[in-house]
Structure 1
């Protein structure tokens, strides 16, 4: 697979449109065979939601806020939560039928890598990633995004906070909040470059590490990680090892059953990352775990 094909395989976004001042809808599709976050046992990987939000933020920075390509996102915090039942690769029968799709204006995939001129009052800008032959029925989702705490310097965007509701077939699937600052790219640090679909970004690599550590800590009682609250405290060095620590706290009074797992990462003796992950388990498993 070429570099271009690898990037196309990770693209999740299919279109976007403004819906008001600093408010947008971004559409995406979740393949079952995503190279980094494949589905398992008929359930989508929850980190697909996080990666979709990351790509959507990058897209809006470029297309709606005119951030040049050679800039990094320095994440401050990221929180997501999903409804486990809504992560099935086939839509649950209780979900409402999809609403009528808006009119779209087709663009090529160059919109993912090259800023395009703003068109007057666009309805929806469609992004057309490469066709998938092994995944004919990906899950269609919408991200309803509101941007707040917007900061600028000399007219250029330098930071914002996004509030995201993820909708599937007219039903709320989950939500997320992300806060970050933006600065010109530096090649010597582990920030997220504004490429929409990349092999790995430091923030997502840390979240993947936290997910693996949380699942290992919760084993054999832990199940799906339905939520994660993350603080990015220092820039992580992508070429240096991280020391990962976990702590599990069972919440046996919750009828649905959950485990809270605290995950921290240190580099060179300094705390660079802290997360609290939520693992869905049964009440019986919690009682046995305690």
Structure 2
């Protein structure tokens, strides 16, 4: 398999890693441009953030903080396949993900931004000769300036193990996702396009139904048998903004635990409540997603409510 492929934007751009290496169908959504090994379980992954993005759009002259999360997420399969020889077809199952960033380093001027992820594997779990678990720590810099720190842990399941784990839900063709309910107003969660809103009204101002649009080009880049983790992070961001009435609020940190799969054929209910403030005075909220009697994920969100600058 080739290491590089051309990015399929209309304007010519430098090459990115092959889309298969980051589990993407649309090459235009690939953010990573390369990687190299520094030593035992230490790597550098390079990325390019576009001057603007259709979903992770620049707002108030800042890159979208969740572009960081998508960049980190793409590094999971890249390093699993390339550095740890995980076969294609294996499933990466997200367990935890935490990050914090400096919002000043998100400045955007319309040009692409070069980002570097300095990665260290804190734990490498092996089973039957293959890698079954990775715990990774990240220091992220943008053009040499510290941008963020992150950490994540995920397990790796062989296809047969995954089928046993998921049972009948491993058959994507048999799943009937529930229809997406009408969205809350896009402006209330900091969105311009209603198609990008992932919350629907519920019975209180701090509770919403998750809107799952399996036709969304970015959040559902390819078919999956469960609600993607990036959609759940976007729901946490939108819930924090809606709960505080701060649609322009900038998320500066998240600490997320994925407890179980969020299924496509059952409603997921999102709740948000304020829990305090961090040392800088930024609001902290607890966001949870539930299906039936089960919590599917929980996320501590830090929201900078400072009035942003010009768009």
* Interval of TM-score (by shorter of Structure 1 and Structure 2): 0.7 to 0.9
1:8 aligned to 2:27? yes
CA RMSD of aligned residues (A): 2.8
Contact 1:189 1:237 in 2 (8 A): no
1:21 aligned to 2:40? yes
Contact 2:282 2:303 in 1 (8 A): yes
> Secondary structure of 2:241's partner?
helix
1:162 aligned to 2:188? no
Contact 2:52 2:58 in 1 (8 A): yes
| Residue 7 (structure 1) shift | 1.0
1: CA distance between counterparts of 2:238 and 2:62?
A: 17
| Residue 189 (structure 1) shift | 5.0
Aligned partner of 1:179 in structure 2 is: 153
What are the within-5 Å matches in structure 2 for residues 1-290 of structure 1? 7-90=26-109, 137-185=111-159, 186=162, 188-189=169-170, 199=221, 202-220=228-246, 223-251=249-277, 254=279, 256-282=280-306
2: CA distance between counterparts of 1:207 and 1:238?
A: 16
Looking at both structures, which has the greater relative contact order when contacts are Cα pairs under 8 Å and sequence separation is at least 6?
Answer: 1
1: CA distance between counterparts of 2:282 and 2:35?
A: 35
Aligned partner of 1:194 in structure 2 is: none
Unmatched 5+ residue regions in structure 2?
1-7, 10-18, 164-168, 172-218
Q: Find runs of 4+ consecutive structure 1 residues off by over 2 angstroms.
A: 1-6, 32-36, 184-190
CA deviation profile, 1:174-198 (whole Å, cap 9, x unmatched): 01100010002447259xxxxxx96
1: CA distance between counterparts of 2:170 and 2:239?
A: 24
CA deviation profile, 1:122-165 (whole Å, cap 9, x unmatched): xxxxxxxxxxxxx7x31000000001211111111100100001
CA deviation profile, 1:184-229 (whole Å, cap 9, x unmatched): 2447259xxxxxx962771111111111111111213872000100
Aligned partner of 1:287 in structure 2 is: none
Contact 1:189 1:236 in 2 (8 A): no
| Residue 33 (structure 1) shift | 2.7
CA deviation profile, 1:230-253 (whole Å, cap 9, x unmatched): 0001122133221111111343x8
1: CA distance between counterparts of 2:45 and 2:126?
A: 23
1: CA distance between counterparts of 2:112 and 2:248?
A: 27
| Residue 281 (structure 1) shift | 2.6
> Secondary structure of 1:48's partner?
helix
Change (3 A) 1:276 1:222: farther
Aligned partner of 1:113 in structure 2 is: none
Normalized against structure 1, the TM-score is what? 0.73
- How many residue pairs match? The answer is 231
